[in-house]
Amino acid sequence: MSSICKHFPDCGGCRTIDVPYADQLLAKQVDFIACASQHFPEAVPFIAPIIGCETPLYYRNKMEYAFGSDETRVYLGLKRRGHFDQVVPLTECFLLSDKMGDIFAICNAYFSEKQTSTWNPRRHSGLLRHLSIRHSKGDDQYLLNFIVSEACAELILPLAQSLAAKFPEIVSILMSVNESHGDHALFSSSDILHGQDFIEESLGEVRFKISPLSFFQSNPRQAEVLYDQIRKLAVESASDRILDLYCGIGSIGLYLARHVGSVIGIEENPSAINDAHANAERNGISNVSFKLGKVKNILKFETFDVDCIVTDPPRCGMTPKALKRMIAVGAPRIVYVSCNPVTLFQELAVICENGYRVDIVQPVDMFPNTLHVETVVKLVKI
């Protein structure tokens, strides 16, 4: 089957956009079971069929596009598959929004006319590094963040004004500075060039403020499907006490809050915790509290009496100390949310060696046209 995207397969953004979506789901299920068989075969009988995504195109709410250039032009794109130092110029992108082509064209023309330098990851030089874009699917709001190697607000401000005039849905345009040699889109400081420094997104009945550095589920509409699965597996009573590990901006805990007695969230990112408090306040949710710090440290020095622990760690999984201390809490139920099947099954094995059993393993396709899969697992204390 030919791809609908003319940039495939050079662009590293999509791995399987040339495969019919039903076949993608089948392949993910097969690979997922194979991974479980290798790392924790005891879980295989509890694996449910993968839940597919109704909208496999334009589903992401955040993308980090890289700047590249040649002798005649500056362009935006994504890294060439297998090459960290090559950028594939894009005229469209089926991952984020159908407006990307127009935004790319305006930015490319502006910076090409200015003959602006672009970041060279080998030489660690050049001004333009990334354009990070967030798109609220519910509100159709855009946040554009130009990430540069040194402050240049006077250069980008006219472009920001032009983009804001053409696209009223762009509610935020920032310029952020990344002075490090690392080829990433993190930054140390930001200036607001237009509007505000956040966008808003809704999941179910809850509205969230999303700042540039805050983590939020990449596929908001499918996140509701995922969170409904979490609620189904985590909540047994309206009086349940939930401990939400790696809570980020509080999205899972706030989604569960109206169905339980109380939620305590733990997160080490100060920006995310600030957003979590703001999100609780703006939604009038008073039965949620948040603690700032590393999960392993807070679990070491504080005692929790809860009915269920929900843990949604980074892709690398939980640290050994955090995993050990989570198990030691002794909650009747653990709901483990993971985007990495390998670390998931490795850590499920440890949890089940320490007094728990797997009740259900539910894969959810959050990332169509890629090889990735999200998973929700319910474990019960024996």
**Which residues are marked as active site?**
339
Contact yes or no for 161/171 (Cβ under 8 A): no
Amino acid at 219: N
Contact yes or no for 3/18 (Cβ under 8 A): yes
Residue that is written with structure tokens 């809850």 in the block = 206
Give CA–CA dist 185/298, Å, rounded.
29
Report the C-alpha dihedral over residues 49, 55, 56, 57, rounded to 10 degrees.
-170
Cα–Cα distances in Å, from 103 out to 116, 211, 230? 17, 21, 36
Give CA–CA dist 74/114, Å, rounded.
9
**Sequence-distant (≥ 6) Cβ neighbours of residue 182 within 8 angstroms:** none
Structural tokens at position 122: 């080998």
Among candidate residues 156, 128, 132, 148, the one with its CA nearest the CA of residue 211: 132
Contact yes or no for 109/60 (Cβ under 8 A): no
Among candidate residues 26, 48, 138, the one with its CA nearest the CA of residue 359: 48
Residue that is written with structure tokens 């662009």 in the block = 11
Cα–Cα distances in Å, from 69 out to 53, 75, 80, 133? 36, 6, 14, 20
Q: DSSP code of 125?
A: B
Cα–Cα distances in Å, from 3 out to 8, 22, 78, 94? 7, 15, 17, 11
Give CA–CA dist 230/241, Å, rounded.
14
